[in-house]
Structure 1
């Protein structure tokens, strides 16, 4: 199996208090996107396509390895993934879609997604259990019901797909549709999505507190498996 990873890296860094794309915000002296790409390659992908804001393409090309393909993203995440798919090499039979904002995803998590694809799954997402009590509230903010936690999961990336299946699902998607992730795209096409265990270290960096936790994780040396 030849796998390509598409890294969505076009998000703004405004909630991090940065005046540059989030993926270029430094973590321990290196941009978030560099950590993300490194983890994907260590986990077993053969090639990486990074989808970036067109205005900052040169900045991304300056920090990424030369073997990484950098392409301009679209106005939405869905459009950006379409651009990544179009740039993927013809040899790729599997596609992983990953968020650059999850820089410390361990190689082992990547390998679990690839393993499920290799075993025949058409779509795979890494998940974690929901540990907090979860409730429904009304328009006034009053609790109206508690949601059972046992069947709930938090979905992470990288999400993995048989390439032909993902491309067909995107071809069938309405041009103006904007879904929250790629698993939703294939589910809309009627494809079953398999789950594998995720990893707490795959946490998304969104606000300064998240970046501080990622720095602490690196300090403790907990990113290698």
Structure 2
């Protein structure tokens, strides 16, 4: 599943983030292709902006995404709502669900495979992640650009930067989203939602090229990675 109904203002004004182009191809198309390359994936559900479902269907059709069942549904006002609506469009017999950010267009297929395999092996929830390269500070937030006092310096050896796709037993993910309807919680990813309601999340190795395109500089880096891939293997 690819929730892609957000606008992504941090990339600046213009088209929704998922429709920004990377190497002449929208980020969303790259993300869907990344999932579709995996033999573990049989269906891709895209949660599009409610007013843009027809546009997204036409976009995916125009880029020749053949060989996999790809469906587009109307997403919601939040990522969490889009995932819940996307879940409802997945056939009941599907027992494993991967949720992938449209803004992570370059995730290697081996990461997708590893996440799916870990769920198939018995994990309730799985996230790919990489070690942190930078020292991290816990601070007391201040308004107006004032200096922020440091409260703690966590040991980065035990910290990981989480990526997608995140994999779940379908019943575990669906139960977490249903519970969140009556017990709202502030989380930034689906694994966090499962974890908040008592589920067990495990980590598998991610990849440095599965970074999220959020700022203009990220797009420049993604262009460089894509150019290298095209030069080396015709990606």
TM-score with structure 1 setting the length: 0.91
Counterpart of 2:25 in structure 1 is 30
Out of 69, 72, 75, the residue aligned to residue 70 of structure 1 is 72
1:2-13 map, 5 Å: 6-13=1-8
- Deviating more after overlay: 125-134 vs 10-19: 10-19
Mapped partners of 1:97, 1:78: distance in 2: 11
1:60 to 31, 44, 56: 56
Provide, for residues 107-132 of structure 1, a one-character-per-residue CA deviation record: whole Å limited to 9, x for no partner.
11000101101111111000111111
Matched, 1:41 2:36: yes
1:168 corresponds in structure 2 to 175
1:14 CA drift (Å): 2.9
Question: What's the offset of the Cα at 1:55?
Answer: 1.5
Distance 1:174 1:17 in 2: 31
Match of 1:146 in 2: 153
- Asked whether the 8 Å contact 1:93–1:162 carries over to 2, the reply is yes
CA distance in structure 1 between the aligned counterparts of 2:137 and 2:8, rounded to whole angstroms = 30
Task: Give the Cα–Cα distance (whole angstroms) in 2 for the partners of residues 202 and 81 of structure 1.
Answer: 20
What SS is found at the alignment partner of 1:150? helix
Q: Which structure 1 residue ranges, 5 or more long, are not aligned? A: 1-5
Deviates more, 1:200-209 or 1:64-73: 64-73
1:53-110 residue CA offsets vs partner (Å, 9 max, x unmatched) = 1122222111114731111111111111100000112231100011000001111100
Q: Does 1:137 align with 2:143?
A: no
Instruction: Give yes or no for the alignment of 1:115 onto 2:117.
Output: yes
Is 1:205–2:213 an aligned residue pair? yes
Point out the more displaced range, 184-193 or 150-159: 184-193
Match of 1:191 in 2: 199
Give the gaps of 5 or more residues in structure 2: none
Instruction: Give the TM-score normalised by the residue count of structure 2.
Output: 0.87
Contact conserved, 2:35 with 2:109, CA < 8 A, in 1? yes
Paired position in structure 2 for 1:3: none
Between the aligned partners of 1:91 and 1:35, the Cα distance in structure 2 is 27
- Aligned-pair CA distance for 1:137: 2.7
Secondary structure of the 2:172 match is: helix
Aligned-pair distance for 1:25?
A: 0.8
Which of 91, 94, 114 does residue 92 from structure 1 map onto? 94
Number of equivalences? 220
